[in-house]
A and B are shown apart, each in its own frame.
Chain A
Amino acid sequence: MEQKPTALLEARNLRKTYRLSRRNQVEALRGVDLEIAAGEMVAIMGPSGSGKSTLMHILGLLHSADRDGGPAPELRVNGSEVGGLTDRQRTRMRADTMGFVFQSYNLVPTLTALENVALAGEYAGVARGKAKQAAMDALGWVGLSERHSHRPMELSGGEQQRVALARSLVNEPMLLLADEPTGNLDSARSQEVLEMLRRFNRERGQTLVLVTHDADVGGTCDRIIHMRDGLVEGVERRTPLA
């Protein structure tokens, strides 16, 4: 009998309108439903302006879905509704259960690779010494143990993104959210980072949601959610459910 994997993320009726000025409103999301199972590697694809980044920000608790103008939005992370959480609780949840990788790496320039990774541990409430040890381990996973004392500007783009990857993984989060993680890298470095992501997903069962408009990146995922004009246009399953 086929067993349905547990849903790590469940979203219903996600809408988001940005009011840039009184007359200029952008309906970035117009009612999105989706489910992402634990251990899945999912790509969200679509042209720019399709709402994929907005969706990612809402899933990552960086933004909230609009409550007015339609049916009430629902967002459950690992089974618990997050809609009513305060900023503090959301921040806490981000630190404890999620990791983020951005297109432009977003490392703190004054911190070394090790300190950048350890910071995420400290924000999740890990003592400084332990966070440092965990950061060292995480840098090992991405093959950068040797470069731990370098600052971002002393690292190549690919290395910086691997540090960012180590940072997103240091708390061993349930969910890793990556926004165009290979967008600033050449194809060889892209391949390297992508293989790493794939390996974390395969070997450690790390759930991955990544936003991309690169079809090759999408092609390595289990599932692709295609978006257009703030709506899910279609879902493409690349690998059969286990």
Chain B
Amino acid sequence: MRLLRQLSRRKLRTTLTILGITIGIWALVVFSSMANKINSLVAGGSEYFTGKILVTDATNFAVGAGIAPMNISAADQMRELDDVAAVDAQIQMIYDPEASQGFGPAEFLLGSIAGSDEGRETFAFTPVQGRLLTPADEGSNVVVFGSDLARKQNAKIDDTVDIRGESFTVVGILEPTLTAPDTMAIIPLQAAQQLMAASLPQSIRDAISADELISQVVVYPKPGVDDAELAAEIERDVDNVQTLTGAEFDEQVGAFTGVFNAIIIGVAVISLVVGGLSVINTMAMSVAERTREIGIKRAIGGSRRRIIRELVTEAAVIGFIGGVIGLVLGATVVVLANEAGRSSGTILFELTPGTAIFAVSFSTILGMIAGVIPAWSAARLDPVEALRYE
């Protein structure tokens, strides 16, 4: 308490010192939150693709993004294979083709017959409100929203929402997963087939009927089956498809996000260094300014150890306060940016407790370390010399 009182009596100096630390920690919190978000997106995707093979039409621009139409007969062909345990024929499409895509995960519609995974899906969806879809929902227009998309659409249970010109009843809202499903809406396969058919050019609609339409197949291998071998078998036996295994996903997406992550981490390291140097600099300055005071304390009987302890404690308190304020400002930026971005589906930041604790302890410990060096040299000064210091 006495320490805080003393700090408050040196308002300008204390404020400037804390400000210097605050800015560094602020930057640290914001950039780390960005890196966290990217990490959890990648980790979520990686988790989602583990133990399954995603099969899409070979004409798709990118593997793993099944939006080109396929015939459901391809799914039946896959089901015939010995090593396949279950097949989930799905339709994936952009949620709202009119909307421009923001930065961040895309919003998409997923049409699937509930339960086709036969209990093999390991990526669990939990409804926070309402329920999940059931096989009995086939034929009706019902929808389960991911958490971010639900908030953006302002969707509540039993509301009627318009999706691509059709009315759907909201029956469930998912718990946040911090990854792709948050920006997803799940509808029964039949409903998705109607929506997809409506979006296709007449020529394709003539060639394939709506109830045969799918855009991707999720294949669950039998236990002990090698994903890569089964994927190769599917590509050989089924015409015109391409496959993506969990390992391939990690490789492709991981490589892409790895570069991005490296940039983010680089920025975070720079902010760490900048923040750290500003802490060290302000501490050194504030101790240097007090040389005379240190001389007085030495002359009236303050031991070196005691004076170092006083200065280091003070530095730690300043570091802690700066860290907490930096964290609060950083968290404010994160929350505001996420709120602002939510309407466009751009959730850029994720502030984890780990990041918060790290930021505050980093600032406290760095404050102490930054305080030790000038405190040590100040306490070693000849008291008479220090007293002459102006």
Contact = CB atoms under 8 A, between A and B. Distances in A.
Contact of B300 (A57, A63, A88, A123): A123
Contacts of B295: 106
Interface stretch (B213-221, B369-377, B381-389): B381-389
Nearest to B2: A115
Contacts of A192: none
B224 interface: no
A92 B303 contact: yes
B165 interface: no
B97 interface: no
Contacts of A134: none
B152 interface: no
A135 interface: no
A229 interface: no
Given A106-B296, A108-B293, A110-B10, A124 B301 contact: yes
B303 A108 contact: no
Contacts of B383: 62
Interface in B91-133: none
A100 B300 contact: yes
Interface string A116-144: 00011001100000000000000000000
Given A63-B384, A109-B293, A151 B301 contact: no
Nearest to A171: B301
A88 B292 CA distance: 20
Contact of B6 (A111, A120, A124): A111
Contacts, number: 61
Contacts of B382: 62-63
Contacts of A60: 299
A100 B299 contact: yes
Interface in B1-38: 2, 6, 9-10
Interface string A128-165: 00000000000000000000000100000000000000
Contacts of B301: 91-92, 94-96, 98, 120, 123-124
Nearest to B303: A91
Nearest to A54: B384
B296 A108 contact: yes
B79 interface: no
Contacts of A94: 299-301
Contacts of B306: 123
Interface in B288-326: 292-293, 295-306
Contacts of B2: 115
A167 interface: yes
Contact of A95 (B9, B300, B387): B300
Interface string B350-390: 00000000000000000000000000000000111001000
B322 to A, nearest CB: 19
B384 A57 contact: yes
A94 B306 CA distance: 15
Nearest to A109: B293
Between A63, A98, A111, A123, the greatest number of chain B beta carbons within 10 A of the residue's beta carbon is seen for: A123
A53 to B, nearest CB: 9
B9 A119 contact: no
B6 A107 contact: no
A120 B304 contact: no
Nearest to B296: A106
Interface in B235-289: none
Contact of A88 (B296, B297, B303): B303
A119 B304 CA distance: 15
A151 B296 contact: no
Most buried by A among B2, B9, B296: B296
Smallest CB-CB A-B distances: 10 pairs = A95-B301, A123-B301, A110-B9, A106-B296, A94-B301, A110-B6, A123-B302, A91-B303, A120-B300, A62-B384
Interface of A: 57, 60, 62-63, 87-88, 91-92, 94-96, 98, 100, 102, 106-111, 115, 119-120, 123-124, 151, 167-168
Given A91-B303, A168-B300, 5 more contacts: A57-B384, A63-B384, A102-B387, A115-B2, A124-B301
